[in-house]
Structure 1
Amino acid sequence: MDMEKAKDIFLKFRGIHDLLDRGLTIREIIFWLAVVVCLLPGMTAPIALVMGLLFVNLLGHPYAKSGAKATDYLLQFAVVGLGFGISAEQAFTTGKEGFIMTFIAIICTLGLGLIFGKLLKIDQKTSFLVAVGTAICGGSAIAAVSPAIKARQHQISMALGAVFVLNSLALFLFPPIGKFLGLGAEQFGTWCAIAIHDTSSVVGAASQYSDEALKIATTVKLTRALWIIPVAFLSAFAFGQGKGKIKIPYFIGLFILAVLANSFLPSVKLIAPFIDHLAHMALCLSIFLIGCGLSRKLLFAGGLRVLGQASILWVIIAGLTLLVVAL
């Protein structure tokens, strides 16, 4: 064994040794206790979100650097896992019925977003990111489009902050409104999928309504999320950034595979309920972690004008979509 290999082994061993010797801080202990609470039966998405918001704004995030990636992976696992509770026939029918409404909503939202952005004198890229986040799927759409148009970090933060504020409100507002109006599972699921920004908030709100609403909302939402790809490509050319990078949401393909496996593989059907249960647990935990990422600085990064643009867009799209599904 040469000296370089011996040195590498020594450093790895020393790193593990140091890790074992390192004690947890009180903040880290409270964080892990909160994680355990999120996995308990009866936990709901709104409670998990509030726990995360309180934790980060009172104590700070102990794992801020690695938290964002972990949250993304966990949410993607939850969404793919929900696919094991949906049949291919149901997914196809729901996706086909929601396609036209989704297309119209995206076109209208992008157009209105740019108009309101000009009226409120918001810079073009920030305004466009808010419109894209509202039209397609919130933070995921902003993350996908921002490198395509080469947006700056402060523009991304402003758009994310405005969208996340409204996502948080949606978790609390949509289920009571749906029940007050007597919406059926299909109506509520479709409304959630088109009117709420982020996938996490869509499935979080729908999960409070019914299992049927959750299945419909997840399917229509992921059909809507596929629009990230063409919109990101068109955005790159519209802003003169033809070589901009584009993030493609590959986990949607895994969701489709999960639906197909649940529908056509008998052996998968046996374990599908267990995977679906794990997905629900992962969903609550991911929403808690999303809450832990919403510090006051991020939530109010854009100020009143950007939040105003996002709010006006959201109210219009949510109102029109509700009117259509309720008729």
Structure 2
Amino acid sequence: MSSPSPAVRRPLPWLPGVLVCALAAAAAWAVHWLVPAVPLLTAAVVLGIVVGQLPVARPAVAGSLAPGLSLSARRLMRVGVVLLGLKLSLGDIAGLGWVAIATTVAVVLLSFAGTFWIGRLMRLPGHQPLLIATGFSICGASAIGAMSGVVKTKDEEAATPVALVTLCGTLAIFVLPLLWHPLGLDAQQFGHWVGAGVHDVGQVVATAQLAGAAALSVAVVVKLTRVLMLAPMVAVAAVVERRRHVEGDPAVKRPPIVPLFVAGFIVAVLARTFVHPAAVVTDSADTLQTVLLAMALFGLGTAVRLRTLVGTGWRALVTALVSWALIAVLALAAVWVSTVG
């Protein structure tokens, strides 16, 4: 009697999941094209969440597609974060003036600390306080992906913060314009408020463009100033995580002091500032970055389980909503301080 033949290992097990993520990114792009008010990356996250809830799709999501979804959520996210650096010019940021820069940095630090404290107060599990604080204070889902790569969280643990930052960022698109005139803000002040208080770059664009080109220009520069804080915040988290490993089990491989993708992000910022790459290079990198982040966020979205989130995630929802309000108030204060300055 012959022994059963060993199972044949399938080559490129990640390929099906990556292809699905690519198709989802194309679908999200189509949604954004048809409804420009819906940011592309928001559409990608929502599409991933919807697919993750479909009973017919769950076996594939947890089975044959899982390697590719995980690769997209982690590695493609990191490449997208590196390319995000090519949007940043230190010269544009310097043009805001030292008061605006200082207040923007203060908003990031205070909102990060406040959100982290609220998350701990609400007894959120694991790294959720850190991930929610990172996403809400810096640059949304892409910041969550970057931070989760440093602290080595599971996709399921990062999925809830991604869903919450997408929810609150989408709410901001509709709520902040309603408060624009009642607060007595002019167009540029409104743009500053949006850039300092809304989470994802796409959500900032969707909100600020309602006030015109001047507001959009200010909003994007202020927002990218917040994005610049991603590198030091993630680097600090990496140092803390490294010390934790040293104090825990010295035999465990320690994370690098500065993760490779963070170093790549810094190099990209410096290249945009001093090398001045051609427009075709920056435009191509921007398109690729958007595609990669859309694929990554779809992958993360499929890990969200709404039933679990609704049943046990009320503390995370409260944390997110309080953080959203906190950042909006801090950002408005930054606008007023910058105006006086």
TM-score strictly above 0.5: yes
Segment drifting more, 237-246 vs 301-310: 237-246
Q: Who is 2:183 aligned against? A: none
Q: Give the Cα separation in 1 of the matches to 2:246 and 2:194.
A: 39
- Match 2:193 to one of 184, 187, 195: 187
Tell me by how many angstroms 1:89 deviates.
0.7
The percent of aligned pairs where both chains have the same amino acid is 20
Decide whether aligned partners of structure 1 residues 169 and 56 sit closer, same or farther in structure 2, where only a CA change above 3 A counts.
same
Decide whether aligned partners of structure 1 residues 318 and 63 sit closer, same or farther in structure 2, where only a CA change above 3 A counts.
farther
Segment drifting more, 272-281 vs 48-57: 272-281
Q: Give the Cα separation in 2 of the matches to 1:235 and 1:95.
A: 34
TM superposition score normalised by structure 2:
0.64
Q: Who is 2:109 aligned against? A: 106
Q: Secondary structure at the match of 1:42?
A: helix
Tell me by how many angstroms 1:56 deviates.
1.6
CA offsets 1:119-164 (integer angstroms, 9 cap, x no match):
x4x27866754675455666347636756xxx9x7xx966x45523
Is 1:64 the counterpart of 2:55? The answer is: no
In structure 1, runs of 5+ residues without a counterpart are 1-10, 197-201
Structure 2 counterpart of 1:77, which letter? V
Contact 1:110/1:135 (8 A) holds in 2:
no
Contact 1:136/1:227 (8 A) holds in 2:
no
Q: Give the Cα separation in 2 of the matches to 1:95 and 1:225.
A: 21
Decide whether aligned partners of structure 1 residues 67 and 95 sit closer, same or farther in structure 2, where only a CA change above 3 A counts.
farther
Q: Give the Cα separation in 1 of the matches to 2:80 and 2:97.
A: 19
Q: Give the Cα separation in 2 of the matches to 1:29 and 1:237.
A: 38
Tell me by how many angstroms 1:169 deviates.
1.0
- Match 2:144 to one of 139, 142, 151: 139
- Match 2:26 to one of 26, 36, 39: 36
Q: Secondary structure at the match of 1:293?
A: coil
Decide whether aligned partners of structure 1 residues 246 and 95 sit closer, same or farther in structure 2, where only a CA change above 3 A counts.
farther
Decide whether aligned partners of structure 1 residues 241 and 277 sit closer, same or farther in structure 2, where only a CA change above 3 A counts.
same
CA offsets 1:84-113 (integer angstroms, 9 cap, x no match):
344341145569644554346435643574
Segment drifting more, 306-315 vs 107-116: 107-116
* Mapping 1:237-248, distance limit 5 Å: 241=247, 245-246=254-255, 248=258
Q: Give the Cα separation in 2 of the matches to 1:288 and 1:109.
A: 25
Tell me by how many angstroms 1:167 deviates.
0.8
Contact 1:75/1:286 (8 A) holds in 2:
yes
TM superposition score normalised by structure 1:
0.66
Q: Secondary structure at the match of 2:33?
A: coil
Two-structure CA RMSD over aligned residues (Å): 4.5
Q: Give the Cα separation in 1 of the matches to 2:260 and 2:191.
A: 28
Segment drifting more, 64-73 vs 33-42: 33-42
Contact 2:107/2:196 (8 A) holds in 1:
no
Tell me by how many angstroms 1:315 deviates.
2.5
Decide whether aligned partners of structure 1 residues 325 and 294 sit closer, same or farther in structure 2, where only a CA change above 3 A counts.
farther
CA offsets 1:34-88 (integer angstroms, 9 cap, x no match):
3432355727323322222111211232522331332333333334334434434
Decide whether aligned partners of structure 1 residues 234 and 157 sit closer, same or farther in structure 2, where only a CA change above 3 A counts.
same
* Mapping 1:144-183, distance limit 5 Å: 146=151, 160=158, 162-180=160-178, 181=180
Q: Who is 2:284 aligned against? A: 274
Contact 1:94/1:220 (8 A) holds in 2:
no
Q: Who is 2:79 aligned against? A: 77
Decide whether aligned partners of structure 1 residues 258 and 173 sit closer, same or farther in structure 2, where only a CA change above 3 A counts.
same
Contact 1:110/1:128 (8 A) holds in 2:
no
Contact 2:107/2:330 (8 A) holds in 1:
no
The size of the alignment, in residue pairs, is 293
Q: Who is 2:329 aligned against? A: 319
Decide whether aligned partners of structure 1 residues 63 and 203 sit closer, same or farther in structure 2, where only a CA change above 3 A counts.
farther
